[in-house]
Amino acid sequence: MKILKLRFKNLNSLYGEWLIDFSAPEYVSDGIFALTGPTGVGKSTILDAICLALYGATPRLGSISASSNEIMSRQTAECYSEVVFESQQGTFICHWEQRRARKKVDGNLQSAEHQIAYYTGKTGNKIIEDKISKVSKVVAEKTGLEFAQFTRAILLAQGSFDNFLKANKEDKSKILEQITGTDIYSKISILSHSRKTEEQKKLRELEVKLGAIEILNEEQISELLTKKKELSDEKSKSEKALQKLDTEIAWQTGIERLKSELETIQRDKEKVHIDIEEFKPKRELLTKANKAIKAESSYSKFLTLEKAYNENIEQLEKNEAIFPEIETEIKTLNDACKLSEATTEKAKGLLETAMPLIRKITSHDENIKRLTGALAEAGAERGEVAKTLEGYNKKLEAMVRELEAANEAEKEICAYLDRHNSDEELLSGLTGFEEQHKKYREKASEAQTKKSAAKELETEIGKLRDIIGRNEKSFKEQESKLKEAEKAFNNEKCEFERLLNGKTVGDYRVEKDALLVDLSRINKREGYEQERKELESGEPCPLCGALEHPFAKGLPKERSKTEEQIEKLQNLIAQLEEKEKSISANERTVSNLREKLSEAKSEAAINANKREMFEKALAQSSEESKAAETFAAKLHDSLAESLGKLGYTKEEVIDDQIIAKLKKRKNEFEKQNRKKAEIEKQIIKINGETTLYKESIENTKKTLKDKDKKIEKDSGELSKLTNERMQLYGNKDPGKEEKRLNSEIKKAEDAEKALRAKWMLKNQEFTALNTEIKSLKNNLIKQKPELETAKSDFIKKLATEGFSDLQNFIDSRLPQEEIDNLTEREKILNENKTAILTREIERKTLLNEESAKNLTQIALWELKEQHKLCSDELESIKEKITQILFKIKDNDEKSAKNKDLTERLTAQKEEYKRWDMLYELIGSPDGKKFRGLAQEFAFEILVAHANAQMIKMSDRYHLQRDKVNPLQLCVIDNYQSGEIRPTSNLSGGESFIVCLALALGLSKMASQRVRVDSLFLDEGFGTLDEKSLSAALSSLAALNQDGKLIGIISHVAEIKARINTQINISPASGGKSRIEGPGCQMLSS
């Protein structure tokens, strides 16, 4: 992973929007740069910004939320951080942002926004994730590092540079897994365990399934097949008998049905005759109605012409009556239109006369309104100016009081600093005192720990001796039990072979089955005893036809002999089966005892190794305890000498609270110094603000005077215009007056328009009425001859159809619906009569044909009884055949299943054996078994890489793994005759060198999986001597050959001199800082 660009806004003292381009040529060519500047200006904020953009958290503050944001610059309403980075998966841009409500500096914090996108270098980057809860996970996927791993392997923040060195076993394991990819070994170990369990479960399931299957023997199958054949024959006979009965029942049922139908037809025939007789009167009505229909068209034509003629006469009379009234209305409306036109012209003349004065007065009113508004606005502005002047005067008075208080506070602080000037030495020396005191406490604790460890080891060794003694005793007991079990097993086996006598158990079972068959045959022969007694010599046997009958007088005595042989075989087979079970049980016992003996031997070997290892550790722990006590005593003397100059006794030096007391003194001295600097700034600020307020007061007084002059001028002009307006127009409103005159004109015009519209409508009505009268007269002249002709034609048609007069015709008419119903009824009656006669002939013919067949003389009810009995018998036979077929099919399926399960069981045993062997080697439920081996190997490689870097910086130290704790480090001090020291016993400078070597070693290892191309170090170089510092910088600079970028945050002068590329952060006014350096740019203030 490599950081390419960083852009941020309003973070701590770095106010405004800033951009740092780490891809600038200077960074690429040098590969190492320094972040320099005084303490507190914001150097570590640069690293905070990188973490904030990627993970929404910082090493110093943790996660930033809506309830707490201590990184946003004071008195600002928003902040953000954005990083462009490159990893093996591509180039990405990650953005984090938080604002206050309404972008007000006093607004509540809003929820933060966080997103990651593919970086294209242009607008419109494709967003991968923008949910704040998920972005950190995506960043971890793309970089290969979570936040904790990132701050330990890439960004070593202030105060946590040695986190990897001091990390516990689990944390180190996680970092190594992320860097080296050895997490796969945990997964393999867990998978091996789960797969072995899974395969074992499958094996048990197959064994249970196989044991649950029961299969028929050949004799049982043969019996089922014989029974099936017998039942099939019976089924064929029953089906033929049933078929004959079906035919006879169908014939008898058909005869009965035909007779019943002929009876029904006779009843229907009588009903139809009655319906025809009842319909005769309606048939006559239908005949008259059909005749009337023929004269209907002449009658309709006559009625239509007569109705139209009468309606035209009525309309003509009505129109001639209203014609004079319309003529009078037209004349009246014409006179009213002329009078309305004159009224309109008069209203227009009044408006034209009044308009010049209205326009003048309107202009005066607009000027009066403008001046009135200007005076009101000026009065308000004057009030605001006066209020501002009053505020300036009050603030000036407050500034004077504040300046007096600040001067007094400065005097008190100066007096404190003079009294405690000796505490100034703590500013630079406290770190050394603290480190010495820490080393002393660590060494004293280490000595005590080593003593305790030695006692624990002595206890453990004693326990192991007891365990080894018990193991030896148990081992002998197990051997004795195994010999006894093996002897019992061999005896049982010999006895089993003796009983078999050269045969197998199966052979004896076959012999027993043969004897059982013989016994069955004997039983069958004895069943023919009565028939044998009736046989006579020389007469043929009815069964076989033989003339000689040797067993007629009785059978040989075979039964008792056969039964005795069967009983002996059954007893022998039972004995053999019991022996087989006993041998199998003894075999399992021998196997279990051998397994327990092997386990006992392994446990004894392990405990012996443990005892040897603990004895060696005891000797080493005793030596280390003595060395730690000696070293602690030297440190105590040195610390007592140093702190004695500050007034502390030798007893106070080892007090746990001594460092806290020194820190309290140092913090108080620093606090007073900061207060003094703040008050000095405050005094300068107050003096500047006082001058500004005095200038503002003078300017405000001048503005107030100008406002008064303007108000006086506008007041005079307003008074003059108001008086002139009152003289010309009084209190009248020119706008309302103009509106009233226009309203009068519109009213007159509307009235005139309405009258003209009425006049035009009346004229149109008059013309239409005149035209209609003429049309009606012409229509009447044409209609009269047509009406007389239609009347004459209708009278002739009545006579033709046989109607005596008009009333006779009208009485004969029927509604068309009634005519249709009567016609349909007549048709149905005729069709029913024909259909019944046809059916009667057909059924009589069919009855004669069926009766001639004469299939049976048995009654129908008797045939049905026989059919039911035969059907039930057939169903019973079918059910028995189905049961036999089901048993045969079920047996076939079980046989196939048994074969398949046997094959699968054999294969599964082999599969389980493979996974069980793998589990014994590397498997465990939590993955620790295989992971532990892999992590130790990975840590060994890391130590090798770290030593390669260590040699470049110092030939004094060499790292090696702790023999007892494989993921812990020890340091070999070549300057102390190769003394082995724990990392907890290192000084600040020594710890830094070891941490740096480990960080570079991690970087080297990480290039195989997670590419680490950026490394940021925050402080720590101040603990190095000149030679170590030079070696460390040389090692870091050499990483540029691999394309890596190293950033160092420090105020050490040597670093500034050695590193050309620098980002300098300098303080500006108001607690703000500025950034200067290659690729650095301020985007907005």
Residue 1075 has pLDDT above 90, yes or no: yes
Q: Are 1014 and 1044 contacting, i.e. CB atoms less than 8 angstroms apart? A: yes
**Nearest-angstrom CA–CA distance, 519 and 532:** 20
Please report the pLDDT score of residue 181 as a whole number: 58
- Asked whether residue 135 falls in the same domain as residue 24, the answer is yes
Choose among 854, 856, 875: nearest CA to 864. Answer: 856
Residue 265 has pLDDT above 50, yes or no: yes
Q: What single letter denotes the amino acid at residue 901?
A: L
> Which range of residues forms the domain containing residue 126?
1-144+1015-1085
- Asked whether residue 35 falls in the same domain as residue 101, the answer is yes
Comparing 491 with 1031, the larger pLDDT belongs to 491
Please report the pLDDT score of residue 157 as a whole number: 55
- Could you say which DSSP state residue 1034 is in? H
Confidence at 96, pLDDT banded by 50, 70, 90: very high
6 has which bridge partners? 20, 83
Residue 94 has pLDDT above 90, yes or no: yes
pLDDT in tens, 841-879: 888 888 888 888 888 888 878 888 888 888 888 888 888
- Asked whether residue 88 falls in the same domain as residue 75, the answer is yes
SS3 label, residue 970: strand
Average pLDDT, the chain: 79
pLDDT in tens, 113-154: 999 999 987 777 889 999 988 999 999 888 888 887 777 667
Beta-carbon neighbour count of residue 155 at 10 Å?
23
**Nearest-angstrom CA–CA distance, 829 and 1034:** 128
- Asked whether residue 102 falls in the same domain as residue 118, the answer is yes
Beta-carbon neighbour count of residue 591 at 10 Å?
11
- Asked whether residue 80 falls in the same domain as residue 136, the answer is yes
**Overall average pLDDT of the 915-924 stretch:** 85
Point out the domain boundary residue: 949, 980, 1009: 1009
pLDDT in tens, 150-169: 776 677 655 445 566 666 76
Phi-psi region of 977 (alpha: psi -120 to 50; beta: other; left: phi over 0): left
- Whether 432 is in a domain gets the answer no
Q: Are 444 and 608 contacting, i.e. CB atoms less than 8 angstroms apart? A: no
**Nearest-angstrom CA–CA distance, 390 and 388:** 5
pLDDT in tens, 335-371: 888 888 888 888 888 878 878 887 888 888 788 888 8
- Asked whether residue 920 falls in the same domain as residue 932, the answer is no
Question: ∠ CA 320-326-331 to the nearest 5 degrees?
Answer: 140
- Whether 461 is in a domain gets the answer no
**C-alpha separations of 38 from 556, 680, 1060 in Å:** 130, 19, 18
**How many domains does the chain contain in total?**
3
**Nearest-angstrom CA–CA distance, 941 and 966:** 13
- Asked whether residue 995 falls in the same domain as residue 1038, the answer is no
Choose among 446, 490, 461: nearest CA to 589. Answer: 490
- Asked whether residue 78 falls in the same domain as residue 16, the answer is yes
Please report the pLDDT score of residue 85 as a whole number: 93
- Asked whether residue 1027 falls in the same domain as residue 961, the answer is no
- Asked whether residue 7 falls in the same domain as residue 134, the answer is yes
**Nearest-angstrom CA–CA distance, 1085 and 1078:** 19
Roughly what angle, to the nearest 10 degrees, separates helices 816-853 and 218-278? 130
Lowest mean per-residue pLDDT among 487-496, 702-711, 861-870 = 487-496
Say how many CA atoms lie within 13 Å of 106 toward its Cβ.
0
SS3 label, residue 725: helix
- Whether 218 is in a domain gets the answer yes
Lowest mean per-residue pLDDT among 204-208, 424-428, 748-752, 990-994 = 424-428
Classify residue 174 as exposed, middle or buried by CB count within 10 Å of its CB (0-12, 13-18, 19+): middle
**Nearest-angstrom CA–CA distance, 1080 and 439:** 42
- Whether 1085 is in a domain gets the answer yes
Residue 630 has pLDDT above 90, yes or no: no
pLDDT in tens, 973-1017: 887 777 888 877 777 667 777 877 887 777 666 555 666 777 787
- Asked whether residue 8 falls in the same domain as residue 138, the answer is yes
Choose among 85, 343, 161, 43: nearest CA to 1021. Answer: 161
Q: Are 856 and 863 contacting, i.e. CB atoms less than 8 angstroms apart? A: yes
**Overall average pLDDT of the 664-689 stretch:** 80
Choose among 318, 29, 100, 55: nearest CA to 1045. Answer: 29
Q: Are 186 and 931 contacting, i.e. CB atoms less than 8 angstroms apart? A: yes
What the block records as the tokens of 11 is 């973070």
Please report the pLDDT score of residue 770 as a whole number: 84
Q: Are 551 and 529 contacting, i.e. CB atoms less than 8 angstroms apart? A: no
Residue 92 has pLDDT above 90, yes or no: yes
Please report the pLDDT score of residue 17 as a whole number: 94
- Whether 119 is in a domain gets the answer yes
Question: ∠ CA 1053-1057-1058 to the nearest 5 degrees?
Answer: 115
Phi-psi region of 546 (alpha: psi -120 to 50; beta: other; left: phi over 0): beta
Please report the pLDDT score of residue 159 as a whole number: 47
Read off the CATH number of the domain in which 1041 is found: 3.40.50.300
Beta-carbon neighbour count of residue 82 at 10 Å?
19
Residue 306 has pLDDT above 50, yes or no: yes
SS3 label, residue 441: helix
- Whether 985 is in a domain gets the answer yes
Classify residue 1032 as exposed, middle or buried by CB count within 10 Å of its CB (0-12, 13-18, 19+): buried
Please report the pLDDT score of residue 537 as a whole number: 63
- Could you say which DSSP state residue 1042 is in? G
**Dihedral of the alpha carbons of 427, 428, 430, 434, in degrees to the nearest 10:** 150
What the block records as the tokens of 1081 is 């740019």
**Nearest-angstrom CA–CA distance, 809 and 873:** 81
Q: Which residues of 804-819 are buried (b: 16+ CB within 10 A; e: fewer)?
A: eeeeebeebbbeeeeb
**Nearest-angstrom CA–CA distance, 111 and 65:** 7
**Nearest-angstrom CA–CA distance, 116 and 132:** 10
Please report the pLDDT score of residue 792 as a whole number: 81
Please report the pLDDT score of residue 178 as a whole number: 60
**Nearest-angstrom CA–CA distance, 968 and 982:** 9
Q: What single letter denotes the amino acid at residue 94?
A: C
pTM of the model: 0.38
Q: Are 990 and 435 contacting, i.e. CB atoms less than 8 angstroms apart? A: no
Beta-carbon neighbour count of residue 316 at 10 Å?
18
In the sheet that holds 1080-1084, the strands lie side by side as: 127-129, 113-118, 90-99, 78-87, 2-11, 14-21, 1080-1084
In the chain, how many H helices and how many E strands? 23, 18
Most distant CA pair in the chain, distance: 180
Q: Are 969 and 961 contacting, i.e. CB atoms less than 8 angstroms apart? A: yes
Comparing 836 with 651, the larger pLDDT belongs to 836
In the numeric block, the tokens 């004897």 are attached to: 515
The proportion of the chain whose per-residue pLDDT surpasses 70, expressed as a percent, equals 83
Confidence at 190, pLDDT banded by 50, 70, 90: confident
- Whether 805 is in a domain gets the answer no
- Whether 801 is in a domain gets the answer no
> Which uninterrupted H or E stretch holds 1062?
strand 1062-1067
Point out the domain boundary residue: 924, 953, 985: 924
Q: Which residues of 916-947 are buried (b: 16+ CB within 10 A; e: fewer)?
A: bebbeebbbeebebbbbebbeebbeebbebbb
- Asked whether residue 92 falls in the same domain as residue 117, the answer is yes
**C-alpha separations of 248 from 261, 764, 843, 871 in Å:** 20, 100, 20, 15
Point out the domain boundary residue: 869, 890, 924: 924
Most trustworthy range by pLDDT among 586-590, 621-625, 677-681: 677-681
